[in-house]
Amino acid sequence: MRCPKCTSIEDKVIDSRISREGNSIRRRRECLECGHRFTTTEVLVREGVYVLKHDGRREEFDREKLVRSVRAACHKRPIDAERISMLVDDVMDILEARHESEIPSSAIGEGVMEQLRKIDHVAYVRFASVYKEFRDVSEFVSEIKDLGKESGGSAGTTNAH
C-alpha cells in the first residue's frame, strides 16, 4: 500500500480489525520510510453482480456509485463513512442472497431506504426524494408525515452508531 505522505510502498500493518459483519477488514499501517501512520480498508469485491435498470438495461454493479449516493443523502448528518460503508454492504449482502447475480435497481433503492429509515430520517427523506423522484413539496410533506407516524413524531432522530 502506498504511503499517502511520502508515496513509499514499504509499510507494516500494526493493527487489523474485522468489521462487525465480517465483510471488511480495517488495517492500521505505518510507513517504514517516513513513519506516517494511515488506515486502509479491505472490502469484498463483488464480481459478476449486475443491476437491472428500470428500462431493461443491465449494468455491472458499482459499489462506489451506491456509496456516493448514500453519502450525498447523509451530507452534514452525524453518520460517518464507516457507517455508510456498512449500510451499503448490509444492503448488498441481503440482496445478493435474494437475487444472486442480477439485482433490480428498485430493490437496491428500497434496501437503502429501509436501512436509512432506521439510521437517520433526514438522510432517508433526502435519498427517497431522489429515488422516488418527488415532483413537488406535497410529496415531501407526505413522506415526512409518514415518518412522523412511524416514530411517534421524532422524524429527525439519528442512531448513527
Parent domain of 58: 45-151
pLDDT for 106: 93
User: Could you tell me if 57 and 33 lie in one domain?
Assistant: no
Give domain status of residue 161, yes or no: no
pLDDT for 89: 87
pLDDT for 127: 93
pLDDT for 161: 45
What nine digits make up the cell of 15?
493493527
Give domain status of residue 64, yes or no: yes
- Beta partners for residue 26, in sequence order: 17, 41
pLDDT for 135: 77
Residue closest to 92 by CA, chosen among 57, 62, 124: 62
Question: Is pTM, for the whole model, over 0.85?
Answer: no
User: Could you tell me if 100 and 30 lie in one domain?
Assistant: no
Q: End-to-end CA distance of the chain: give it in Å, rounded.
A: 29
Quick one: angle between helices 137-151 and 121-131, nearest 10? 140
pLDDT means per 10 residues, the chain with 161 residues, are: 94 88 84 96 80 93 93 95 89 89 93 94 90 79 82 52 45
User: Could you tell me if 82 and 101 lie in one domain?
Assistant: yes
Residues comprising the chain, all counted: 161
* Residue pair 105/55 in contact by the 8 Å Cβ criterion: no
User: Could you tell me if 4 and 60 lie in one domain?
Assistant: no
pLDDT for 152: 63
pLDDT for 86: 87
